[in-house]
Amino acid sequence: MHPLRKPDRVTGQAQWFSLAEVSSIGIAMAVAIAIGAFGGRWLQENVTHWRPWTFYIGFLVGLGAAANIVVRTAIKFQAYLDAEEEAEGEAGQERPPEDEPGGPRP
């Protein structure tokens, strides 16, 4: 079986699925910023006429949405890494650190 098709120990999903979920962050950021910027421009032209401030406000809203996407993905990926580390520890694959009792002796 190809290594990317092997089910993950933590989530049970194929590894490529987890990688695809994290790699989509760039597209999501670009879309959030574009929607904010074009939404601000549309408001500027059709509603407020506060040139250029409405565009800047829309751009900043899109930038905030992109930052939110990055933070949510980082938190989710960190939780995944913590669960994977815990699963390795339960399987007995974790070595004790060298400076603790039971570690390698010089």
- Concatenated DSSP letters of 43-96: HIIIII--TTHHHHHHHHHHHHHHHHHHHHHHHHHHHHHHHHHHHHHHTT-PPP
Does the pTM surpass 0.85? The reply is no
In a domain, 61, yes or no: yes
The model's pLDDT over 40-81, given as tens digits with 9 standing for 90+, comes to 999 999 998 888 999 999 999 999 999 999 999 889 888 888
What is the share, in percent, of the chain residues with pLDDT greater than 90?
41
In a domain, 65, yes or no: yes
In a domain, 6, yes or no: no
In a domain, 75, yes or no: yes
Counting the structural domains of the chain, the total is 1
Domain of 49 in residue numbering reads as: 15-89
In a domain, 1, yes or no: no
In a domain, 68, yes or no: yes
